[in-house]
């Protein structure tokens, strides 16, 4: 069968490859892949900066934002033809306390594995196998849009963490700033609106689909710097990974505020006085600045509810390009108007 593979650590090594059928050890449920989303993490892996092949192998099958149709359900209660999404992370084998209770997204020893990212093959293949405990059924009526489930889980977790942290004190948040209007930022804004918040989204783009997508949500779209905005948000969802934006977010957020970092970016150098400045800002304003990654099964449930509640035509606009697997290079080459590029392996 054909699959998109990459040699982790080797820039430009991604290609559509001939590989063997998926190994049974990857799971008893056999799935025909319909679509796989391309995300920033895939770009990092393809550029040689991230990712790990399975032990003893050179190449990794890429792809962690999946949507597939069950071909062989094995002994599960699944039916042939059901649509499913694979969970990305697997608990470490020790397991650490968090993995032991199903919170692998909070793995505390780093021994977790991730499909298409860390030591386990991913979903950019004509067929995949998934363990019954690590897939979720999705509503067929979502069609290809169910490929947005995985990125939505990442922000569902971030929001859950924000709410958990908010309980440290009396907390009545109203204003949210989302920095970066990529898929993660837009889905974070969607949840903010669903929670009844006054949502502001900041991005560099002045043209393309982003401004309209934000306005259609009922949120406000801004360009420029965080400092220019003149708002004092209770919550910042930082989705750029850019240090200058993070530092400005800490300055702008209201006292008692929460800054959630979801983006990873290049290690840039900050002006020498800034870390000290950040310390004073964080202490004197009782800030929580924290990172959030990945998602556990609970977040897949929450994310499915978010997508079910969202306006379908809005979700459709997030998928800006559908590309066939043999044009994978084209799919991986970012265009300025891209939001979510999807590799189409089959028809939902
Ligand atoms: C994925 C997460 C994963 C993270 C780090 C993200 O793109 O959505 O599931 O944990 O990358 O590898």
* Positive/negative CA dihedral, 125, 127, 133, 135: positive
- Rounded to the nearest angstrom, the distance between the alpha carbon of 106 and the centre of ligand 1 is 12
- Rounded to the nearest angstrom, the distance between the alpha carbon of 213 and the centre of ligand 1 is 24
* Residue where the block lists tokens 């998109």: 4
Per-residue pLDDT band at 61 (split at 50, 70, 90): very high
Distances (CA, A) of 40 to 85, 235, 249: 19, 23, 22
84 φ, ψ (degrees, to nearest 5) = -135, 155
Q: Please give the Cα distance from 344 to 124 (Å, whole number).
A: 9
Per-residue pLDDT band at 240 (split at 50, 70, 90): very high
What residues flank ligand 1, with Cβ below 6 Å?
39, 41, 64, 88-89, 114, 117, 150, 154, 293-294
Least confident of 24-33, 83-92, 177-186, 262-271: 262-271
CA 154 to ligand 1: nearest atom: 8
**For residue 171, how many other CB atoms are within 10 A of its CB?**
15
Mean pLDDT of 22-38: 97
Question: What global pTM score does this model have?
Answer: 0.97
Summarize pLDDT for 69-98 with one digit per residue, the tens: 999 999 999 999 999 999 999 999 999 999
**Considering the chain, what percentage of its residues have pLDDT values greater than 90?**
94
- Rounded to the nearest angstrom, the distance between the alpha carbon of 168 and the centre of ligand 1 is 27
Burial class for 294, CB neighbours closer than 10 Å (0-12, 13-18, 19+) = buried
Ligand 1, atom 7: closest residue by C-alpha: 41
DSSP state of 310: S
- Rounded to the nearest angstrom, the distance between the alpha carbon of 280 and the centre of ligand 1 is 31
Q: Please give the Cα distance from 345 to 333 (Å, whole number).
A: 18
Ligand 1, atom 6: closest residue by C-alpha: 41
301 closest CA partner among 151, 190, 145, 136: 136
Best mean pLDDT range from 228-242, 255-269, 272-286: 228-242
Q: Please give the Cα distance from 178 to 202 (Å, whole number).
A: 6
Residue 198 pLDDT: 98
- Rounded to the nearest angstrom, the distance between the alpha carbon of 121 and the centre of ligand 1 is 14
More confident residue, 269 or 314: 314
Using the CB atoms, write b or e for 131-156: b if 16+ within 10 Å.
beebbbbbeeebbbbbbbbbbbbbbb
Q: Please give the Cα distance from 323 to 344 (Å, whole number).
A: 6
The two structure tokens encoding residue 256: 């008692």
267 pLDDT higher than 80? no
* Positive/negative CA dihedral, 11, 14, 113, 104: positive
Provide the Cα torsion 342, 344, 347, 348; round to 10°: -40
CA 295 to ligand 1: nearest atom: 9
127 pLDDT higher than 90? yes
Which residue from 91, 156, 294, 297 has its CB within 8 A of the most atoms of ligand 1, so it is best to mutate? Answer: 294
The two structure tokens encoding residue 345: 């392996």
Q: Measured in Å, how far apart are the chain's first and last C-alpha atoms?
A: 19
């Amino acid at each position: 069968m054909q699959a998109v593979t990459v040699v982790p650590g080797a820039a430009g090594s991604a290609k559509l490859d001939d590989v063997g059928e998926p190994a049974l050890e990857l799971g008893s449920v056999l799935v025909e892949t319909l679509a796989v989303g391309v995300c920033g993490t895939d770009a990092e892996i393809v550029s040689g900066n991230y990712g790990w092949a399975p032990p003893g192998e050179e190449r990794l099958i890429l792809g962690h934002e999946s949507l597939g149709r069950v071909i062989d359900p094995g002994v599960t209660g699944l039916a042939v033809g059901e649509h499913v999404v694979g969970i990305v992370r697997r608990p470490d084998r020790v397991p650490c306390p968090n993995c032991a209770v199903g919170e692998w997204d909070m793995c505390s020893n780093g021994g977790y594995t991730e499909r298409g990212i860390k030591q386990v093959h991913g979903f950019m293949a004509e067929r995949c196998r998934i363990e019954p405990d690590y897939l979720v059924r999705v509503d067929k009526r979502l069609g290809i849009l169910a490929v947005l489930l995985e990125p939505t889980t990442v922000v569902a977790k971030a929001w859950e963490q924000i709410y958990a942290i908010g309980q440290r004190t009396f907390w009545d948040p109203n204003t949210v700033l989302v920095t970066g209007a990529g898929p993660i930022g837009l889905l974070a804004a969607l949840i903010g609106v669903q929670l009844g918040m006054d949502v502001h989204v900041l991005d560099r783009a002045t043209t393309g689909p982003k401004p309209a997508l934000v306005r259609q949500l009922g949120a406000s779209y801004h360009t420029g710097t965080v400092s220019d905005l003149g708002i004092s948000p209770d919550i910042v969802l930082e989705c750029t990974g850019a240090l200058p934006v993070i530092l400005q977010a800490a300055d702008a957020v209201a006292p008692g505020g929460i800054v959630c970092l979801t983006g990873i970016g290049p290690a840039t150098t900050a002006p020498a006085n800034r870390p000290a400045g950040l310390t004073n800002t964080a202490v004197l304003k009782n800030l929580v600045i924290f990172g959030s990654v990945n998602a556990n099964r609970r977040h897949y449930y929450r994310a499915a509810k978010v997508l079910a509640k969202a306006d379908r035509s809005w979700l459709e606009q997030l998928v800006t390009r559908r590309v066939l697997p043999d044009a994978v290079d084209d799919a991986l080459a970012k265009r300025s108007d891209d939001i979510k590029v999807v590799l189409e392996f089959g028809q939902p």
